Amino acid sequence: MLMPILQIHSEDMPAYAIVCGDPARAEKISRKLENARELAFSREYRTFVGEYEGVQMAVVSHGVGSPGAAVCFEELIRAGVKTLIRVGTAGSYTADYPAGSVIVSTAAVRSDGLTRQLVPDGFPAVADIDVTSALVAAARQTDRGISEVAKVGVGITVTLDAFFTGVEEIPHRKYKQAGALAAEMEIAALYIVSTLRGARAGAIVAIDGFADSDLAAEYDPHTDAVAKAVEHEIEAALRALAALARQDQA
C-alpha cells in the first residue's frame, strides 16, 4: 500500500525507524546502515532503509514542527513501523546541560497546538519505558569513544510551536522552574501519535544552546561540540533500536 504523502510502500517498511527533522541528517544516518537505499524524497520527508547490526530499520526525515511531523509518524505507523526513535536538537533550560550535551526525553510538555486537536488537555505525552531504557543504556555506553563527548541527561522536555519570539512571551521560565530540561518542536506529537496508534516511541536530543536566552547572537548550532553531540545521539539511537529488536526476537 502506498502512503500518499511520504510516497513509500508499506511492503518496503521495517518495524523499526529513526526519525529526524532534517533530510540531510536522514541521509547522514543512512550512511551508517548496511545495504542502505533511498525509497522516497517527498516534500520534507526523505526515507531510507537498511540494516544495522543485522536489524532492518528505516531512517525518515519529518521536517520542522509538530503538524508536519505528525503526518510522518501517522504514515510510518500505518506502513507497519512499530518502534520509532526521534533524534534531534533542543535548547537547554539548565547550565547542567550546556551545548554539546544530550538528553533522553522521558515525557514532553504539550505546549504545541497539534496534540490539543488529538487528545484532551490533561492527556500526557509519555515515552515508552522500554525504548527510553534502551536509549539511556546506549547513550551511556563507553565504547566507540562517544560517551566522554557529551553529558547525558534524562528527563522531561517541552514541545513548542514557536521558534522566534513575538509579542507574547514564551513561558520558558515556568517550564524551567517546573523542572523541564529542554525545549524542542516535535516530541509531544511523536508520543501522542504513537500512543494513539499502538506504536512505541522514544526520543534523544542534542543540546545546541539555551532555550531561554534573549540574545539571538548566542545561538550557534554549528559548533564542534554540537556536531559531536549529534553523532553521539545518532549512535545511541541506532544501538537502542538494534537492542530493542533483539529483545523482541527473544
| Residue numbers annotated as active site | 208
- Using CA atoms, how far residue 142 sits from 61, 108, 147, 148, in Å, is 28, 27, 5, 7
In degrees and rounded to multiples of 5, residue 175 shows phi and psi of -65, -40
What is the per-residue DSSP string for 127-162? --HHHHHHHHHHHT--GGG-TTTS-EEEEEEEEES-
- 8 Å CB contact between 249 and 55: no
